[in-house]
Structure 1
Amino acid sequence: MKISTKGRYGLMLMVDLAAGDGKTPTSLKTVAERQSLSEHYLEQLIAPLRNAGLVKSIRGAYGGYILARPKTEITVKDIILTLEGPLTLVDQDVEDGLDELWDRLRQAILSVMESVTLQDLVDMKHRSEGTYMFYI
């Protein structure tokens, strides 16, 4: 399994939004500048996050995006599965007699992703070397 840029940049976007006060909308342009990401790419990521009920859009001159739920309730699993789709470790048609192993590994990964919230990632970012950029 390899997390693509969709998953990585989506996490960076969500952590950036979670680092705010939760009430003031943040524009994608602002996130793109702070995280050195493409605004156009973030526009592609925000739609599935909005459709999944993870972010809300606020219209107007001072509009942008805010989290739709508290950062303590949004998990890495929510974000990654929304952007990457179902977690698969091996092709479904592989018949190697190790189905139980692959399922246990998959469940372990999902368990870790479910145990880490956006609040945890914000806290990790604050403990890092003091840079605003957050790397996954």
Structure 2
Amino acid sequence: MRLSTKGRYAVMAMADLARNGRDRAVSLAEIAARQEISLSYLEQLFARLRKGALVKSVRGPGGGYRLAREAQDTMIADIVLAVDEPIRATRCVGAGSPRGCMIKGERCITHHLWEDLGSEIHAYLASVSLEDVVENRTRQRRQPASAGLEAAA
């Protein structure tokens, strides 16, 4: 399972905006150049981010985009969902769909495993703010898998 390009690029662009737009509006051309993302693709993403109330546009000289709320109040899950990218690990169509991925409409034996994984990913992204990303605090949030085993011993 992987996060789509749309979701990854939206997060990259928003992190760039948070870092470089603290005291001014930032143009999409600047973000496109720094992050090596197509300008036309960014325009599509920012239309969705604006509709999702995560950014606001500034017109005129020195115009561009600003965050609609503070970076510490903007969660990564909100960004991903704003660009219409639900995080699903199952191959079944539609979240909460009673129909499964098997030919007869049944759920596969590992359905709940992947559904739970998708929920964990969403919960993690909902706990990480844009400020955490910009300040490189996401690594501090993780514990090595061996740390839990050592604590249990």
Question: 2: distance between equivalents of 1:88 and 1:107?
Answer: 8
Q: How does 1:32-51 map to 2 (within 5 A)?
A: 32-51=32-51
Question: 2: distance between equivalents of 1:27 and 1:62?
Answer: 8
Give the aligned residue type for 2:57. S
Gaps in structure 2 of 5+ consecutive residues: 93-99, 102-106, 140-153
Question: 2: distance between equivalents of 1:46 and 1:21?
Answer: 15
8 A contact 2:6–2:85 mirrored in 1: no
Deviates more, 1:30-39 or 1:97-106: 97-106
Structure 1 residue matching 2:108: 3-state secondary structure = coil
8 A contact 1:55–1:66 mirrored in 2: yes
Identity %, equivalent residues: 41
Structure 1 residue matching 2:66: 3-state secondary structure = strand
Gaps in structure 1 of 5+ consecutive residues: 128-136
The count of corresponding residues between Structure 1 and Structure 2 is 126
Match of 1:75 in 2: 75
Question: 1: distance between equivalents of 2:50 and 2:14?
Answer: 11
In the TM superposition, structure 1's runs of 4+ consecutive aligned residues that sit over 6 Å from their partners are none
1:63 aligns to 2:63 (yes or no): yes
Q: 2:134 aligns with which of 119, 122, 130?
A: 122
8 A contact 2:7–2:85 mirrored in 1: no
Structure 1 residue matching 2:120: 3-state secondary structure = helix
8 A contact 2:6–2:83 mirrored in 1: yes
8 A contact 2:76–2:125 mirrored in 1: yes
8 A contact 2:3–2:87 mirrored in 1: no
Question: 2: distance between equivalents of 1:97 and 1:35?
Answer: 41
Question: 1: distance between equivalents of 2:115 and 2:34?
Answer: 38
Match of 2:143 in 1: none
Post-superposition CA distance 1:52-76 (Å, at most 9, x none): 0000000111110000011001111
TM-score by length of 2: 0.75
- Say which one has the larger Rg: 2
TM-score by length of 1: 0.83
Give the aligned residue type for 1:20. N
